[in-house]
Structure 1
Amino acid sequence: MNYRHSFHAGNSADVVKHSLLIALVRALQRKQGALTLIDTHAGCGLYDLEGEEAGRTGEAAQGVLRALPDPNPLLDDYRAAVQAVNPGADARLYPGSPHVLAQLLRPQDSLILNEKHPEDARVLRGAMRGTPAAVHERDAYELWLAMLPPRTPRGVVVVDPPYEQLDERARITATLAAAMRKWAHGVTVIWYPLKDRAAHVRWKEQLRKLGIPKLLCVEHWLYDADQPGLYNGAGLFIVNPPYAFTEDLPPLLEALRAALAPEGHSGAITAAWLGA
């Protein structure tokens, strides 16, 4: 599955991913200690929803454009992140994870971005101009391990690959295992698309075998039954989520489910500990 960010900007997966990222970082920031935020597959940072690539799929119509008018106050932080990059009332621009994370930075926090694709890396540097982000152009999995442990006592690694390579999941599994040896208490967020349920179950079993004590699995299934061969939703593996985040999660997930359920479907969004 090729999931380059620019073709899917602002879709339902982005709404869930960025809503949960905001909630996660905010929960960690309840303590004053500095955070290092690392995005291994940063993409372009900012996307034009009326541009050729996003316009070709039109997925924002079922994502950000449904979340923005939704009245639920639990989505206010997400809406504020989108509105921050749009000077007018219309949501023409969509902030990728780099921009969302940059908006959350406190003076003591730092942001490290990585994008291997040369053209995307060039666009990313332009999009992040004026922010304190450091931008790298390296292999994502090499950078992931090289940056651990971060200089600050606490941090978050965001892993959001396009799943272009057949061995993507195997590389994530192997790198996560190595990362846990270097930084056992660190917080890691791994995004993934939901398309083939059987393949996903096999991957979860491989991750379960890593024996990570705190590995939360959040899954957003759009349809009431699988749509063969189609994108059915997306999920996040979250390693070592803070207690404040997990306590506040159920009502946020329900707000996201209600806002994003396709016409004629109730949708489902769940959170469960892997291995529980």
Structure 2
Amino acid sequence: MNYRHSFHAGNSADVVKHSLLIALVRALQQKPGALTLIDTHAGCGLYDLRGDHAQRTGEAAQGVERVFAGANPLLDDYRAAVRAVNAGPEPLLYPGSPRILAQLLRPQDLLIINEKHPEDAYALRGAMRGTHAAVHERDAYEFWLAMLPTRTPRGLVVVDPPYEQTDERARITKTLAAAHRKWAHGVTVIWYPLKDRSAHVHWKEKLRRLEITKLLNVEHWLYDADQPGIYNGAGLFIVNPPYVFTQGLAPMLEALRAALAPEGHRGTLGAEWLS
């Protein structure tokens, strides 16, 4: 699997991930204390939906464009984040997680982002020009642990790899265990694609065995039955989600499911605690 951001910008997975990321940061910001926001696999930061990579897959048509065609007010914050990088009403550019996090910063907050891929790191620095983000070009898993505990009492780590390597899930599991030992109260968001259900169930069991006290799993299956060999959806593991976020989660998930369901399918988008 290769889920390099530029090929999948604005797809259904991005819509869910970024909608929930905005809601999560907003929930954390209900307290006035400073936050450190960290993105371990930041990508390019900003994507041209009319560019070659995005056009090759055409996935934005089933993602951000569907949300823009609707009017559910629960998705207004997401639409606003996309509009912020576009001059007109149509979403021609798409903000990656670092650009969205930069929009959410308060004066007291910090943003630290990382991208190892040299070409993407160069593009990222350009995309983040004018923001207050600190940009690193390091191994994502070494960077993740090196940033913990955060410089502020509270923080959020976003882990969003391309899953190019066969050991990606094993590295995430190992690093999450080490990160939790260093920073047990911190909030961590891990994005993943869904392709093979049995492999995913096996990974969930490995994460469950870490015995993290508050580990929420948000899972989005696009189709009513598995489609062998293709992308079936995506999800998030969220460590220590704040109460305000979880209380408002169900209606937002239903709004996202309804907006993104492929023609002829209802799909499922739900959440469960793994601990």
Query: Using the alignment, how far apart are the partners of 1:103 and 1:170 within structure 2?
Result: 32
Match of residue 16 from structure 1: 16
Match of residue 90 from structure 2: 90
CA RMSD of aligned residues (A): 0.4
Report the Cα offset of residue 14 of structure 1: 0.1
Q: SS in structure 2 opposite 1:250?
A: helix
Q: SS in structure 1 opposite 2:132?
A: coil
Query: Using the alignment, how far apart are the partners of 1:114 and 1:44 within structure 2?
Result: 10
Match of residue 7 from structure 1: 7
Unaligned runs of 5+ in 1: none
Query: Using the alignment, how far apart are the partners of 1:89 and 1:206 within structure 2?
Result: 44
Unaligned runs of 5+ in 2: none
Match of residue 79 from structure 1: 79
Q: SS in structure 2 opposite 1:138?
A: coil
Report the Cα offset of residue 71 of structure 1: 1.1
Match of residue 50 from structure 2: 50
User: What whole-Å deviation, never above 9, does each CA across 1:190-224 have from its counterpart, x for those lacking one?
Assistant: 00000000000000000000000100000000000
Query: Using the alignment, how far apart are the partners of 2:83 and 2:177 within structure 1?
Result: 37
Q: SS in structure 1 opposite 2:108?
A: coil
Q: Which amino acid aligns with 2:28?
A: L
Stretches of 4+ aligned residues off by more than 4 angstroms: none
Report the Cα offset of residue 9 of structure 1: 0.2
TM-score (norm 2): 1.00
Query: Using the alignment, how far apart are the partners of 1:274 and 1:192 within structure 2?
Result: 16
Query: Using the alignment, how far apart are the partners of 2:89 and 2:201 within structure 1?
Result: 42
TM-score (norm 1): 0.99
Q: SS in structure 1 opposite 2:248?
A: helix
Number of residue-to-residue matches in the alignment: 275
Match of residue 200 from structure 1: 200
Residue identity (%)? 82
Query: Using the alignment, how far apart are the partners of 2:71 and 2:164 within structure 1?
Result: 36
Q: Which amino acid aligns with 1:240?
A: N
Q: SS in structure 2 opposite 1:157?
A: strand
Match of residue 212 from structure 1: 212
Query: Using the alignment, how far apart are the partners of 1:90 and 1:261 within structure 2?
Result: 21
Match of residue 140 from structure 1: 140
Match of residue 41 from structure 2: 41
Query: Using the alignment, how far apart are the partners of 2:40 and 2:176 within structure 1?
Result: 12
